[in-house]
Amino acid sequence: MSSTPVVSIAHLTKRYKGFAAIDDVSFTIAKGEIVGFVGLNGAGKSTTINTMLGFLHATDGSVTIFDQLVKPQTAHKTHQQIGFASGDMSLFNNLTGKQYFRFIAGRFGIRDNTRLKQLSDLFEPDVNKKIGDLSRGNKQKIALIAAFMASPELVILDEPSSGLDPLMQQNFVDLIREETTRGTTIFMSSHYLTEVIDVCSRVVLIRGGKIVKDIPASELVTDGGKMVRLVSQSVVIPPRTAELVEKKKTDDGYELTFVYKAKPAQLQQWLSGVAGLIDVSITDHDLKAAFDDLYELETGEHA
Amino acid sequence: MHNLFLKTLYDKRSFILGWVLGMAFIGYLMTIFFPAFHQDNGLDQLVKSLPPAFKGLVGNLDNLKEMSTYLGSQLFDVRMPIFLSVLTILLAVGLSVSEEDKGQLRTLIALPLSRTRILLTKWVVIVFICLFATLATIVGIEIGLLTIHETLDIMVLIRLGGMMLLLAVALATAIFGIGMATGKRGLTTAVGVLITVGSFLVTTFAPSVDWLKDYEKFSFLHYFPAPDIAKGTIDPVNVVVYGAITIIFLVIAVLFFRRRDVR
Each residue of A144-192: pLDDT tens digit? 999 999 999 999 999 888 778 888 888 998 999 999 899 999 999 987 6
Q: Residue B89: which of B2, B157, B178, B203 has the closest Cα?
A: B178
At residue A302, the pLDDT reads: 41
Of B110, B258, B261, the CB nearest to A79: B110
**Reported pTM:** 0.83
A-side interface with B, Cβ within 8 Å?
50, 53-57, 71-73, 75-77, 79-80, 82, 84, 88-92, 94-95, 99, 102-108
Higher pLDDT, B24 or B210: B24
Per-domain residue ranges of chain B: 4-257
User: Chain B, 80-119: which have a CB under 8 Å from a chain A CB?
Assistant: 102-104, 106-107, 109-115
The whole-angstrom separation of Cα A226 and Cα A258 is 8
Which chain B residues are closer than 8 Å to A72 by Cβ?
115, 258-262
Residue B17 contacts A, CB cutoff 8 Å: no
- Spell out the domain ranges in chain A: 5-221, 225-284
A217: distance to nearest CA of chain B, Å? 28
* Mean pLDDT confidence for A72-92: 93
- pLDDT higher than 90, residue A223: no
Nearest chain A CA: its distance from B16 CA (Å)? 14
Tell me the HSE value of A151 on the side-chain side, using a 13 A CA sphere: 14
Give the mutation candidate from B2, B98, B107 for the A interface (greatest A CB count, under 10 A).
Answer: B107
The band of A290, judged by pLDDT with boundaries at 50, 70 and 90, is low
- The 3-state DSSP class for residue A277 equals strand
Tell whether B151 is within 8 A of chain A (Cβ): no
In chain A, which residues have their Cβ closer than 8 Å to the Cβ of B100? none
- Do B106 and A55 make contact, defined as CB atoms within 8 angstroms? yes
Q: How does pLDDT run across B36-55, given as a tens digit for each residue?
A: 876 656 666 666 666 666 66
Residue numbers of B between 118 and 147 with CB closer than 8 Å to A? none
- Closest residue, chain A, to B15 (C-alpha): A94
User: Which chain B residue shows the shortest CA-CA distance from A105?
Assistant: B2
Contact A84 B104 (CB under 8 A): no
How remote is the C-alpha of A29 from its chain's centroid?
14
What tens digit of pLDDT does each residue of A4-21 get?
799 999 999 999 988 999
Q: What ranges in chain A are assigned the alpha helix state H? A: 45-52, 76-79, 97-108, 114-123, 136-148, 166-182, 193-199, 217-223, 264-272, 287-298
pLDDT in tens, A84-137: 999 888 999 999 999 999 999 999 999 899 999 999 999 999 999 999 999 989
Among A36, A81, A60, which Cα is nearest to A196's? Answer: A36
- Beta carbons of B115 and A72 less than 8 Å apart: yes
A215 CA: distance to closest CA in chain B (Å): 28
Which of chain A's residues have a Cβ under 8 Å away from the Cβ of B103?
88-90
Q: Which pLDDT does position A295 carry in this prediction? A: 61
Distance of CA A110 to CAs A178, A202, B112, B167, Å? 20, 31, 13, 40
For residue A108, the chain B residues in CB contact (below 8 A) are 111-112
CB-based contact (8 Å) between B10 and chain A?
Answer: yes
Per-residue pLDDT band for B134 (boundaries 50, 70, 90) equals very high
Residue A79 has its nearest CB partner, among B104, B112, B260, at B112
Contact A6, A31 (CB under 8 A): yes
The pLDDT value recorded for residue A138 is 92
CA distance A90 to chain B (A): 5
- Indicate the CATH number for domain A225-284: 3.30.70.260
3 state DSSP class of A242: coil
- Assign A75 a pLDDT band (cuts: 50, 70, 90): very high
Q: List the one residue out of B195, B193, B227 whose CA is nearest residue B77.
A: B227
On the CB side of B257, CA atoms within 13 Å amount to 28
Identity of the amino acid at A26: S
Give the distance from residue B104's alpha carbon to the nearest chain A alpha carbon, in angstroms. Answer: 5
Residue of B1, B102, B106 lying closest to A103 (CB–CB): B1
Q: Is B150 on the interface with A (CB under 8 A)?
A: no
B10/A95 touch (CB, cutoff 8 Å), yes or no: yes
* Chain A residues whose beta carbon lies within 8 Å of the beta carbon of residue B262: 55-56, 72
CB contact under 8 A, B110 and A104: no
Contact B115 A94 (CB under 8 A): no
Give the distance from residue A101's alpha carbon to the nearest chain B alpha carbon, in angstroms.
9
When the candidates are 3.20.20.140, 3.40.50.300, 3.40.50.450, 3.20.10.10, the CATH number that belongs to A5-221 is: 3.40.50.300
Query: What is the pLDDT at residue B47?
Result: 67
